[in-house]
Amino acid sequence: MCTSLLYTDLSGSVYAGRTLELPVELPYLAAFLPSGTQLSSKAGNHAPLTYESRYDIFGVVVPNGSVEDLKVVEGLNEAGLNFSLLAFADTHGPDDTQADDVPVLSAIDLGAWMLAQFSTVAEVREALEKQTVLVDPLAALGGVVPPFHYTVHDRSGASIVIEFFDGERHIFDNPLGVMTNSPRFDWHLTNLNNYTHLSNVDHSSATLLGQNFIQPDSGIATVTLPGSDTAVDRFVRAVYYAHFSEKADGPEASLRQLGHVMNKFDRPKGASVYSSAKASALTESATRLTGQQPAQKPEFITEYTSWITLIDLERSTVMLRTYNSLGYASFDLAALKAGATGPKVVPLEAFDQGSPDADKVLLAL
Amino acid sequence: MCTSLLYTDLSGSVYAGRTLELPVELPYLAAFLPSGTQLSSKAGNHAPLTYESRYDIFGVVVPNGSVEDLKVVEGLNEAGLNFSLLAFADTHGPDDTQADDVPVLSAIDLGAWMLAQFSTVAEVREALEKQTVLVDPLAALGGVVPPFHYTVHDRSGASIVIEFFDGERHIFDNPLGVMTNSPRFDWHLTNLNNYTHLSNVDHSSATLLGQNFIQPDSGIATVTLPGSDTAVDRFVRAVYYAHFSEKADGPEASLRQLGHVMNKFDRPKGASVYSSAKASALTESATRLTGQQPAQKPEFITEYTSWITLIDLERSTVMLRTYNSLGYASFDLAALKAGATGPKVVPLEAFDQGSPDADKVLLAL
Amino acid sequence: MCTSLLYTDLSGSVYAGRTLELPVELPYLAAFLPSGTQLSSKAGNHAPLTYESRYDIFGVVVPNGSVEDLKVVEGLNEAGLNFSLLAFADTHGPDDTQADDVPVLSAIDLGAWMLAQFSTVAEVREALEKQTVLVDPLAALGGVVPPFHYTVHDRSGASIVIEFFDGERHIFDNPLGVMTNSPRFDWHLTNLNNYTHLSNVDHSSATLLGQNFIQPDSGIATVTLPGSDTAVDRFVRAVYYAHFSEKADGPEASLRQLGHVMNKFDRPKGASVYSSAKASALTESATRLTGQQPAQKPEFITEYTSWITLIDLERSTVMLRTYNSLGYASFDLAALKAGATGPKVVPLEAFDQGSPDADKVLLAL
Amino acid sequence: MCTSLLYTDLSGSVYAGRTLELPVELPYLAAFLPSGTQLSSKAGNHAPLTYESRYDIFGVVVPNGSVEDLKVVEGLNEAGLNFSLLAFADTHGPDDTQADDVPVLSAIDLGAWMLAQFSTVAEVREALEKQTVLVDPLAALGGVVPPFHYTVHDRSGASIVIEFFDGERHIFDNPLGVMTNSPRFDWHLTNLNNYTHLSNVDHSSATLLGQNFIQPDSGIATVTLPGSDTAVDRFVRAVYYAHFSEKADGPEASLRQLGHVMNKFDRPKGASVYSSAKASALTESATRLTGQQPAQKPEFITEYTSWITLIDLERSTVMLRTYNSLGYASFDLAALKAGATGPKVVPLEAFDQGSPDADKVLLAL
């Protein structure tokens, strides 16, 4: 459903690529939230947790009821902290053991909470140790708990994964910078022990039973890459491409190189389908929410890549390509800060034709 | 090295996508040749074959010595005929049995010859029956025979593959519209009998030995797709995506859908590498030709997707994305015809930033 | 349906292993035919081809109507020539262009014809050049042409494949000694160019994105072996095991080693099934022939390994294991010659319990 | 290194198959221990745990120093309880927190301990709850902790896996009856969610892009089986064959069917190799122990299937095939009980030729 990876260039600068796949379009917004914005999170009957943002934030968000309550799906702050929310079917959070008057953080607000206040993964980790987080049912999901896990990267390349399963919160160091979906992160790590044969060097000739054989094409090295679009196989391929992809020189070449890598995870409509009877709660609620519910339910639905982001953590820029676009829109946190007098949101489809002037489109609203 | 496929939209309109992969950049040009251009082909000691173009042509070409002698790598004419040249390691053409005073066509000129004169695959086939074609050594390749085969599509979706092997010319009907590289086309067709299990429907639950198992992600249908970047595996994947990809409505949505499909065949630098000692004659000559020869030969070289084209055969438009671009440049044969007073060529790198005004860039020269 | 391979031991002696798979049991017989036996072959309206055997033959045969007309499925003669008949769906032989009074050989009699008269593959090849062979419809198959191809090995390790397709007879040198089923032999050879990465050396550790991964088990080298039981995948695996399997010392150890290799091609009932509506003409006729036709046609049928032979070409011994046996029966051409006063046949099920005294069982009849 | 699975026949009777793979031969013994035998286990400085056997036991054992101290690798008791010890690289047991005067069970003695005293998995589970077990370093392994996990089956088909990892003892219910090696059992269970597409039904025809393709062979259903010999892939294949293998009628047919299934896991010498420098502590100590240490260390070593057992839990019989045999030896606990006057052990190589009279061989000693 989502593929997320870190790419490091020749000089060690860090870039993040991610895709988002669902069988429906959520009411995505591109959003700029300047530092000084008042934010809050509410979980269950607990007192709301309120705080003021210390950093400018740009991201792709989804409104929960109103534009006052934005949930960050993918976000970056001016300090180069990058947050991504990805689907995680095994989500099962801890019980609520706190008194109602204790303000707790709802897991769905992890993105806003950390992008607003922290500049590094280490800061996030430290703050989380003191912060109770509950996986709270979400009205926008029809009362279902949000089935997500969360990755956080910073400019140093440090990365963590936050997962709620088996009734506990788990924070994993992520030395690979790669995440996809279920199962739990450490299962994927163990799975890589089954891929020690991976190499990008073509072995293009062999002598078998005295006969010589020649592979006339390049690329036979990739024959052992797992082929499917499931989270498990995408995780392995993401590690492969993040590792073996040529290290480019400078941010422009690096973003292009990352773009080619992310194209490997671009999923066309129809490439795989499943019975619409098996649609997830997330899909069902999205269909209701956005009025995409067709008169007649289709027999099959297909997940596809709604959008891809390429993020330069060093320079705090975000490139974004929607499914309906053949090119990228570019956003620059410094330019947005310089131009914005307050929060700005615009539906993502405004960028369906790509746009070199995406900042202006956002600022114009 | 190259992946080529046809995509058909809801209304039956035909679109062609192709990639080109080499470990070097050839001196590619974007070229517009208006009808009425004088063209010729010379093979061995034969009298040159000369003809005048009846159709406007746009394409990606490579100069053979001079810009007067352009070799078409990918081209489209105003009648919607589309020609692609793809690498074919098994090339071995027929002996020259004609007298020197008989003008014969050099295989490397097949593109110019057919785009200039014909509007359908049927016309091409008929003309080929009367036309001797020789696989003539090419000066630009250091005297090696050009190791290519050739695909031709038209607006009706008709498609053929022209291959020279085992000392004979073969023209195959191509009911799939798909082509990659070696081995010969009919080998690939036979190979598809090993993929009768392909389906795009996810089987996401199973009971094995009394236990229920659930695949939490979408995409398990793709688990049987062959994973590698060799021509054989790309052929199967190209058939899969051409077949199962959702049929879009209208040219804009169709080109976007085709773009997502072609992203599956976008090969990043470094994804696979091979010893530079195994560089082909084509690579070696290209390196010489373009002055890309580095002071010190690298240990490994990597093939990557130099460019991708998305072609609307119905409307005679071409979209083109180079490796150095995150977006597409658009060309429209009608606009070029309207604006051009003669042939126009411009190096492909002029479009490295994508360009909605690509026609103007070309016409401005 | 059948897997056939040659194994060479430390001293260069040659051993042949083969399996036979069908969804039914044919009325297989173990047969000993001493030299001096009168044999004949009849094709269409042609005069019968008659000849006397010069070599003792042991083999697995199927009676065509009567025990007087035995068709060799797997056979060995005292000179170490080994013949195997394997299913070949693409069979399409040449037209009959000879006069009726010319005796021609029916393809189904190739085994008896060559085992009776020749000691080496070279002799077989030479004789075939002068011998017309027709793929004649077989009464026992309900008038269908026998869908088989034929492999011949000798003590030197020389090997050929005889196939009738596209209306022509093809004799291929088989430097690998491996054969399975469709498609044609040279297609399989080309396919091996897609397996140049094969190696039996485990790569059990890797560093990816700075992390070390260890495969705790042995065997990861085999991760790139194609997994399925189709002829195409079995061909590749047969080459792999024939090539990498440890070379043993002496015939006993070699036959055991070959036995382990052939176990890889032992197909259990139920491992794969298909609709009984897709049963082949061969299966249908076998079902009629042997009275195995059940009162109610099952929905699915399953191919399984009816029997496996391990042959020592040097010493002219045959080991045979039926599906109903957990051990092998052993036959020795020298012992059979010493004990037999004429041809001997016994149903194969006589050896369902294995038998160290198999020769005696055969001689006792 | 080991593959273990349960097969259930038409009437619900349960049979167990297992292989054992190492790159060396341990000094295996076939052993019969009648009820009433005095047994003990010693771990660290703890008082020995002593007990008398209540059930007759037959098994494959390895002497630890002397024949008085037998370690059970594979065993069956007269009540139909079946114990198997399999390699488990992740072994890391709990700390020793008991006083020295408390008798504790050494993990390596789990087999003898449970086969001697219990008749069902439920009894074993209950007894384990009260019994401290320590993973104690083993002299025979050069002081290394024995890297094993343990499976237990009973006649009802109940099955558990006992693993010591992360410093804790884990007892998993094993509803599949399948076990191989690392990683931990529940990882394998999760992995099966990636195989929900498994089916044994051949899909042998497909229409792709309007063209019909036919797979001429049977077996394409198996195309999605993972191909390698690593524990992870063998686990999936073992589940596949245990599930889809045809259910036979009666013990003889069932043992033959199980034999065909286990042949799929028979690993020939040379099929994969690894550097002898990576030999495990177990291999190293075995080489010392058995005097197999060659004058010159080989560059590569190969794991192969030392032996396979087929066990009828209902009738308490064991069939055993060593690598050096093409057939099975049969043991019957009732016959052994009837004939034996005390414990009997014989080196496993006594059965290298298979033997229908294996009981007598054992009783004769």
Could you check whether the bond before residue C183 is cis, i.e. omega within 30 degrees of 0?
yes
Q: Could you tell me how far CA D35 lies from the centroid of its own chain?
A: 22
Residues B216/D191, Cβ–Cβ less than 8 Å:
no
What is the helix (H) or strand (E) element at residue A32, kind and residue range? strand A29-33
In chain C, the percentage of residues whose pLDDT exceeds 70 is: 98
C198 versus C284: the higher-pLDDT residue is C198
> Taking CB atoms and an 8 Å cutoff, what residues of chain D touch C21?
218
For B151-180, write each residue's pLDDT tens digit. 999 999 999 999 999 999 999 999 999 999
The CATH number of whichever domain residue A218 belongs to comes to 3.60.60.10
Residues D127/D118, Cβ–Cβ less than 8 Å:
yes
Global pTM reads 0.96
Q: Which chains touch C (3 or more CB pairs under 8 A)?
A: A, B, D
B293 versus A114: the higher-pLDDT residue is A114
B208 to D243: CB separation less than 8 angstroms, yes or no: yes
Residues in chain C: 365
A215 to B202: CB separation less than 8 angstroms, yes or no: no
Interface contact B297, partner D, CB < 8 A: no
Distance CA C327, CA D356 (A): 10
DSSP-assigned beta bridge partners for residue D58: D32, D76
Q: State which residue of chain B sits closest to A252, comparing Cα positions.
A: B324
Position A313 scores a pLDDT of 98
- Closest to C160 (Cα-Cα) out of C171, C149, C144: C171
Give the residue numbers spanning the domain of A360. 3-364
ipTM of the complex: 0.96
Confidence grade of residue C278 (pLDDT, cut at 50, 70, 90): confident
C230 to B194: CB separation less than 8 angstroms, yes or no: yes
Distance CA C72, CA C30 (A): 10
B90 to A216: CB separation less than 8 angstroms, yes or no: yes
B208 to D239: CB separation less than 8 angstroms, yes or no: yes
pLDDT at D288 exceeding the cut of 90: no
pLDDT at D285 exceeding the cut of 90: no
Q: State which residue of chain D sits closest to C280, comparing Cα positions.
A: D216
Confidence grade of residue A65 (pLDDT, cut at 50, 70, 90): confident
pLDDT at B75 exceeding the cut of 90: yes
How far is the CA of B127 from the CAs of B154, B233, C268, in angstroms? 15, 33, 56
Interface contact D190, partner A, CB < 8 A: yes
Position B204 scores a pLDDT of 95
Interface contact D365, partner B, CB < 8 A: no
Residues B116/B54, Cβ–Cβ less than 8 Å:
yes
pLDDT at A293 exceeding the cut of 80: no
DSSP-assigned beta bridge partners for residue C344: C32
Interface contact D194, partner A, CB < 8 A: yes
Closest by Cβ to D190, choosing from A183, A194, A233: A183
Confidence grade of residue D17 (pLDDT, cut at 50, 70, 90): very high
Confidence grade of residue A284 (pLDDT, cut at 50, 70, 90): confident
Interface contact B120, partner C, CB < 8 A: no
> Taking CB atoms and an 8 Å cutoff, what residues of chain D touch B213?
192-193, 195-196
Provide the CB-side half-sphere exposure for A106 (13 A, CA).
Answer: 25
Position B219 scores a pLDDT of 95
Q: State which residue of chain B sits closest to D225, comparing Cα positions.
A: B224
D115 versus D140: the higher-pLDDT residue is D115
B246 to A269: CB separation less than 8 angstroms, yes or no: yes
Q: At what angle do helices B121-130 and B110-117 cross, to 10 degrees?
A: 120
For C210-235, write each residue's pLDDT tens digit. 999 999 999 999 998 998 999 999 99
Residues D279/D299, Cβ–Cβ less than 8 Å:
no
Confidence grade of residue D279 (pLDDT, cut at 50, 70, 90): confident
Position D227 scores a pLDDT of 87
Position B282 scores a pLDDT of 78
Closest by Cβ to A219, choosing from B222, B228, B327: B228
Interface contact B261, partner D, CB < 8 A: no
Interface contact D225, partner B, CB < 8 A: no
Q: What is the mean pLDDT of chain C?
A: 94
B149 versus B287: the higher-pLDDT residue is B149
Distance CA C9, CA C29 (A): 30
Q: What is the mean pLDDT of chain A?
A: 94
For A335-365, write each residue's pLDDT tens digit. 999 998 899 999 999 998 777 678 888 888 7
Interface contact C171, partner A, CB < 8 A: no
Interface contact C276, partner D, CB < 8 A: no
Interface contact C274, partner B, CB < 8 A: no
Q: How far is C246 from chain A (nearest CA, A)?
A: 13
Interface contact A226, partner B, CB < 8 A: yes
- Closest to C95 (Cα-Cα) out of C39, C168, C157: C168
In chain D, the percentage of residues whose pLDDT exceeds 90 is: 84
C255 to D303: CB separation less than 8 angstroms, yes or no: no
* DSSP state, residue B146: P
Q: How far is C178 from chain A (nearest CA, A)?
A: 10
Q: At what angle do helices A121-130 and A110-117 cross, to 10 degrees?
A: 120
3-state DSSP call for residue D317? strand
Contacts of D341 (CB under 8 A, 6+ apart): none
> Taking CB atoms and an 8 Å cutoff, what residues of chain B touch A300?
201
Position D3 scores a pLDDT of 98
Interface contact A193, partner C, CB < 8 A: yes
Q: Is B142 exposed, middle or buried (0-12, 13-18, 19+ CB in 10 A)?
A: middle
D193 to A187: CB separation less than 8 angstroms, yes or no: no
DSSP-assigned beta bridge partners for residue C7: C15
Q: Could you tell me how far CA C239 lies from the centroid of its own chain?
A: 16
Structure tokens at A346: 């615009």
Angle at D62 between CA D56 and CA D63, to 5 degrees: 95
Structure tokens at B159: 């498609």
Domain count, chain C: 1
Distance CA D52, CA C62 (A): 59
3-state DSSP call for residue D218? coil
Distance CA B242, CA B8 (A): 8
